A and B are shown apart, each in its own frame.
Chain A
Amino acid sequence: MESLEYLMKGFLVAFQWHNLLFAFVGVLIGTAVGVLPGIGPMSGVALLIPVSASLTAGMGPEEAAASSIILLAGIYYGAMYGGSTTSILLNTPGESSSVVTALDGYQMARQGRAGNALAIAAIGSFVAGVVSLIGLVLLAQPLSEMALMFGPAEYFSLMVLGLCAVSGLAGRSMTKALIMTVFGLLLGTIGVDNVSGVARFTFDQPVLYQGLEFLTVAVGLFALGEVFNTVLEGGGENEKAGKVGKVTLSRQDLKQSAAPIARGSLLGFFIGTLPGAGATMASFFSYITEKKWSKQPERFGKGAIEGVAGPESANNAASGGAMIPLLTLGIPGSGTTAILMGALIMYNVQPGPLLFEEHPYVAWGLIASMFIGNVMLLVLNYPLVKVFARIIDTPPKYLIPLIIAISIFGVYAVQVNLFDLIVLVVCGLLGYILARHDYPLAPVVLGLVLGPMIEYNMRRALTASDGDFSIFVEKPISLFFLLAALLWLTVPWLMKARGKRVVINEEA
């Protein structure tokens, strides 16, 4: 097994003391971010990119990329876990993937079993993390090898499929999601064209030659947008967190949860690998499955531990599964993975089939650190649940100006120019207004990150075919991807038209 050998090398990377520290800090900050109202995984990761960039400034390019991505991925799954804490204690999910957790988790908290709910969430997340890690190790190599056979036409169609999948499931209106995707793609064309060297849409302003920096746009849309939302919607008032109680599990609890955790992990992993589906859908489906399979479905909604164990495992497994298309195909399936991908590109590491060949240090180091991160999450959360529960009480009076200051620091520290700060504030306002009217933001970032690559592959394919667009439907794999993209858009639309409820991803 070649993969195993690489994985061992990956563990050597992940066990370097500074990478252990990065994983620890990432998980810690991530959990805090997940617990804090008003910042979700996306803004958390976006905010920490500049910080991790400056922390790793003294290292070689490979090590710096590995350490940063270890930190950022730690924030990602830490936040996934942290979000469940607020669901259980406050009935206010920190992010959309833990909405379902609130159904039974909050009921358990009201019955004085908050500790049990938090503990089973931690254990479920851990098991799910391990399951998705195994899946990643098994699938990474074969998938990359398959993707290596793709030419530009196949790549173009694959990325179109990725974008359509995300747009088809994002937000309430598909038209709006598609508008946002195209808008993001268009923003990505600003700057000097990579192929011909022509400046596009720059109005002869030198600051625009590099194009709009993805980091600035992401921090603006997500972090500032959410802050503005909190201020304007008067989310400033604090709710008091419920008492945690004893963090223990009875044998009965474990027995009831074992099967839901196993099912949730597998289900979540496979849903996570589908672009656009993501953690929210995974947790939702897991909850439905558990309720359907349960011998006493009437217990659900009244504090059934299975209703916490299943979805919590599923959403964590999905965030691991989402790494697969990102690492092997270079296609982010969600907003957060798009941001992770942008971070990798900042370090000149291009996610995709060549990642495992060109940067095994980064790829396998990340995979191994995800395992270590999951262990840390468990170790950290079990004793520290009460501490994290108190973070909820951070007064917004201090929190909101501090998040703004961190955003501005982060963007300025990396870009060192005022123009980006102006873009940041404009994106913040735009993010608030658009999100308030159900225009999903994740597709914008996805479009911005994927845009240059889609265009590059499209033009390479067209150059080879002498400008003939039929190349995209003549190649069978490419045609398959395009048809799948079409289905992804039409099926939810048809289902909506027939009056069926469609599970959508609010944000992931």
Chain B
Amino acid sequence: MNPAFDRWAALAFFAVGAAFVYGSLQLSHTAYGSQVGPDVFPMGLGAVLMLLDVRLLVDTFRLRPSGEKDAKGNQAHLRQFGALLLSVVVYIGLLETLGYVLSTFGFLLAGFQIMERGKWLSSVMIAAVFSIGVYGLFVGVLQGTLPGFPTWLTG
């Protein structure tokens, strides 16, 4: 185990448990026809979570770290991941403005290039086949709902 991380995680989950207990205190204590209100279950669980976190915290001091290979993703992987995450966020942000086909095509093209530079032709082909194919199948054949093309494009 990685004690530093576990300590932070214990604190974070402790806060989550406390937040749920606090939130439960604001809820009604009874329900119609029953003495048991909607607050009992989350409050109990919140308290259990807090207890478990204390236990985890104690464990981090008691147990020796088990010489974990601290293979921190090296810088290149971290940059790659950052770029990929950024493109996912941009993709989600543009999904409803640009429509499914355009935003998906853009995201896939960017994603392929982030993973490995080059091979533009096959990247463009796969991205196009996936985005148009999924849209055509889902909206055209299965009658599902996906954002279409932006109005400024279709007029």
Contacts and interface: CB of A to CB of B under 8 A. Distances in A.
B111 A234 contact: no
A201 B20 contact: yes
Contacts of B13: 179, 183
B53 A200 contact: no
Interface residues of A, number: 58
Contacts, number: 173
Given A231-B80, A418-B95, A182 B33 contact: no
A458 B43 CA distance: 14
A182 B16 CA distance: 11
Chain A contact residues: over half helix, strand or loop, or mixed?
Answer: helix
Interface string A190-205: 0001011010110000
Given A179-B53, A186-B16, A405-B104, A231 B37 contact: no
Interface string B1-23: 11001100100010011001001
Contacts of B126: 398, 402
Interface in B74-108: 74, 76-78, 80-81, 84-85, 88-89, 91-92, 95-96, 100, 104, 107-108
B44 to A, nearest CB: 9
B6 A437 contact: yes
Contacts of A200: 23-24, 27, 38, 42
A232 B78 contact: yes
B38 A195 contact: yes
A21 to B, nearest CB: 15
A196 B37 contact: yes
A493 to B, nearest CB: 12
Q: Summarize B's interface: helix, strand, loop or mixed.
A: helix
Interface in B42-92: 42, 45-46, 48-49, 52-53, 55-56, 59, 71, 73-74, 76-78, 80-81, 84-85, 88-89, 91-92
6 contacts: A55-B142, A186-B45, A195-B34, A231-B84, A232-B78, A459-B40
Given A201-B20, A418-B95, A462-B36, 18 more contacts: A57-B142, A172-B1, A189-B45, A228-B85, A231-B80, A398-B112, A400-B115, A401-B114, A404-B84, A404-B88, A405-B104, A409-B100, A413-B146, A429-B85, A458-B41, A462-B35, A463-B33, A463-B35
